């Protein structure tokens, strides 16, 4: 192969590999993760870091590294620290000039960023927002990356808010590739998309490490939907999410009184925005007057603080403070891990594994019993498709206290059994356990990386308020349950 057969970036990578005896090992580690000793070396040594930095300029971290970073031990912590450092230097998609590949198919214009290629195994758990005449999708672990875009027309009114003016013009002209702005800040719409992602995929208060207050998160995401109403096309989603949230709003106002530093600044901003959103979208609510009183009191407080600052009595900023189970087994019983794609959000507990099944023989009757622990938001029933030596049998799982329970009769004593618990409709096919575990680990890695990024951040709250990737209050409270 001649050097002019490959791109300059590929040639640079080949030269890098040729000059490093450790390159093969490094390639495996970037794909699959580092052991604790190696991760610590790259974190502590400038020379080692320079080698890794040069490598990851051309090679994206693999799924295995994300899985290693999700581990709840010292090796996982070191992998998370190193992965976050690598993602920071790679930029939005690992290149100086990120591009979209533009396709046109089935009446849709598709703008596909390069990062999407690394998520083919978890396409359903990305952060997607439906818009009039299209949809937009972000990587929830890297909200500053250019979003994937699908639009029915290049004249969609929201397209210019996501692309540069030259990129929009190129799309309208029929270009096959367009450039994304490598210095684009996190887009405000991505914050709403990530909030929707948390509502769907976070395990909620059942998460023993980071128990999430779903009511508080709904209040915040509803407020974001209200702020993005012009892009979303209406305030209907904001009204739906904010319905009945007045008690949560009053409770969070009291809760954050003890917060300090940048967390308090963020909390005050959220409460003020939530009051305005609630008053705007719930005009007939019985508790409207109560929320209006809270809003008016906050406005008076803001006026007094502004007056004091104008007279130089106060500093301008506060001081910064440092289910569906898919399981394989044999005669007897087995356990499996929930596939979050097939059940409603938080309807089953997030444990891994979280489904048990047992084949029993009694009085010449062969049956299978299935048990699934209930999550934060239980439903009345789930279904279990049992595959016994290729034969399909359905078991109805009814909620019984803290468990869903059900059983079904089997036509014979099977040698191989798999159990797939799902909602009312079974999918055309079921995923294997390895794919399910990868999805669950990836979701967990996103949640963990958010905490690692923002816990202990020494920034002023007024600056963080402007960052669309800033944490939700529900996240802050989950990371520190005492807040």
**Which part of the chain has CATH 2.60.40?**
326-438
Residues whose CB falls within 8 Å of the CB of residue 348, separated by 6 or more in sequence, listed in order = 323, 324, 338, 354, 355, 372, 373, 374, 375, 382, 404, 421
- Asked if the model's pLDDT at residue 321 lies above 80, the reply is no
pTM above threshold 0.85: no
Nearest to 190 by CA among 240, 153, 136, 113: 136
Q: Which tens digits make up the pLDDT trace of 381-431? A: 999 999 988 889 999 999 988 899 999 999 888 888 889 999 988 777 888
- Asked if the model's pLDDT at residue 18 lies above 60, the reply is no
What's residue 7's pLDDT?
42
Domain 326-438, classified CATH 1.25.10, yes or no: no
Tokens of 125: 């758990």
Nearest to 48 by CA among 85, 73, 80, 75: 85
Where is pLDDT greater, at 78 or 21? Answer: 78
Nearest to 1 by CA among 112, 480, 10: 10
A 10 A CB-CB count for 145 gives 24
Do 58 and 11 form a contact (C-beta atoms < 8 A)? no
What's residue 424's pLDDT?
85
A 10 A CB-CB count for 193 gives 25
pLDDT band at residue 319 using 50, 70 and 90 as cut-offs:
very low
Q: Which tens digits make up the pLDDT trace of 24-81? A: 788 788 888 899 999 998 888 877 887 787 677 667 787 778 878 767 778 888 888 8
What's residue 13's pLDDT?
47
A 10 A CB-CB count for 97 gives 9
Q: Burial letters for 324-335: b for 16+ Cβ neighbours within 10 Å, e otherwise? A: bbbbebeeebbe
- Asked if the model's pLDDT at residue 266 lies above 90, the reply is no
Q: Which tens digits make up the pLDDT trace of 150-161? A: 999 999 999 988
Q: State what percent of residues in the chain have pLDDT above 90.
A: 27
Q: Which tens digits make up the pLDDT trace of 184-241? A: 556 889 999 999 999 999 887 777 777 889 999 999 999 999 999 999 999 999 999 9
Q: Work out the average pLDDT over 470-479.
A: 88
Q: Work out the average pLDDT over 321-342.
A: 62
What's residue 118's pLDDT?
65
For 237, list phi and psi in degrees, rounded to 5.
-70, -35
- CA angle at 334 for the pair 354 and 355, rounded to the nearest 5°: 20
Q: State what percent of residues in the chain have pLDDT above 70.
A: 80
Nearest to 472 by CA among 256, 290, 322, 162: 256
Element (H, E) at 405: strand 403-409
Mean of pLDDT over the chain: 79
- Asked if the model's pLDDT at residue 328 lies above 70, the reply is no
> In terms of C-beta distances under 8 Å and separation of at least 24 residues, what long-range contacts does 261-264 make, across chains too?
261/318, 261/319, 261/320, 261/321, 261/461, 262/318, 262/320, 262/321, 262/457, 262/459, 262/460, 262/461, 262/464, 263/321, 263/461, 263/476, 263/483, 264/318, 264/461
């Amino acid at each position: 192969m001649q050097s002019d057969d490959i791109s300059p970036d590929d040639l640079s990578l080949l030269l890098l590999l040729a000059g490093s005896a450790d390159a093969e090992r490094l390639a495996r580690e970037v794909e699959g993760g580092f052991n604790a000793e190696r991760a610590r070396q790259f974190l502590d040594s400038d020379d080692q870091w320079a080698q890794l930095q040069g490598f990851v300029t051309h090679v994206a971290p693999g799924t295995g590294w994300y899985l290693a970073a999700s581990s709840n031990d010292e090796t996982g912590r070191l992998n998370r620290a190193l992965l976050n450092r690598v993602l920071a230097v790679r930029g939005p998609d690992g290149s100086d000039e990120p591009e979209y590949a533009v396709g046109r198919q089935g009446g849709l214009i598709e703008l596909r960023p390069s990062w999407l290629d690394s998520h083919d195994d978890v396409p359903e758990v990305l952060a997607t927002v439906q818009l009039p005449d299209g949809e937009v999708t972000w990587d929830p672990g890297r909200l500053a990356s250019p979003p994937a875009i699908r639009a029915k027309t290049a004249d969609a009114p929201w397209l210019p808010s996501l692309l540069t003016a030259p990129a929009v013009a190129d799309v309208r002209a029929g270009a096959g590739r367009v450039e994304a702005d490598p210095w684009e800040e996190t887009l405000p719409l991505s914050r709403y998309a990530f909030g929707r992602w948390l509502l769907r995929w976070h395990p909620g208060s059942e998460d023993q490490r980071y128990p999430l207050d779903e009511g508080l998160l709904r209040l915040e995401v509803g407020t974001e939907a209200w702020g993005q109403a012009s892009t979303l096309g209406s305030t209907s989603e904001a009204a739906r999410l904010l319905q009945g949230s007045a008690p949560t709003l009053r409770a969070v106002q009291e809760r954050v009184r003890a917060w300090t530093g940048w967390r308090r600044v963020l909390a005050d901003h959220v409460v003020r925005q939530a009051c305005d959103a609630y008053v705007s979208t719930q005009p007939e609510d019985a508790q409207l007057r109560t929320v209006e009183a809270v809003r008016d009191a906050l406005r008076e407080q803001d006026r007094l603080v502004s007056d004091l600052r104008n007279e130089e009595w106060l500093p301008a900023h506060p001081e910064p403070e440092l289910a569906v189970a898919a399981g394989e087994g044999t005669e007897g019983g087995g356990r499996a891990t929930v596939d979050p794609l097939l059940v409603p959000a938080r309807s089953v507990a997030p444990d891994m594994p979280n489904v048990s099944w047992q084949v029993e023989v009694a009085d010449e009757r062969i049956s299978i019993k299935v048990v699934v622990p209930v999550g934060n938001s239980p439903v009345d029933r789930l279904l279990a498709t049992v595959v016994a030596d290729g034969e399909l049998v359905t078991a109805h799982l009814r909620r019984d206290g803290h468990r869903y329970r059900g059983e079904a009769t089997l036509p014979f004593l099977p040698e191989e059994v798999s159990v797939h618990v799902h909602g009312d409709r079974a999918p055309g096919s079921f995923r294997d356990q390895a794919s399910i575990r990868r999805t669950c680990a990836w979701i967990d890695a996103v949640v963990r990386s958010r905490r690692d990024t923002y816990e202990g951040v020494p920034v002023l709250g007024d600056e963080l308020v402007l960052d669309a990737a800033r944490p939700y209050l529900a996240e802050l409270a989950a990371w520190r349950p005492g807040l």
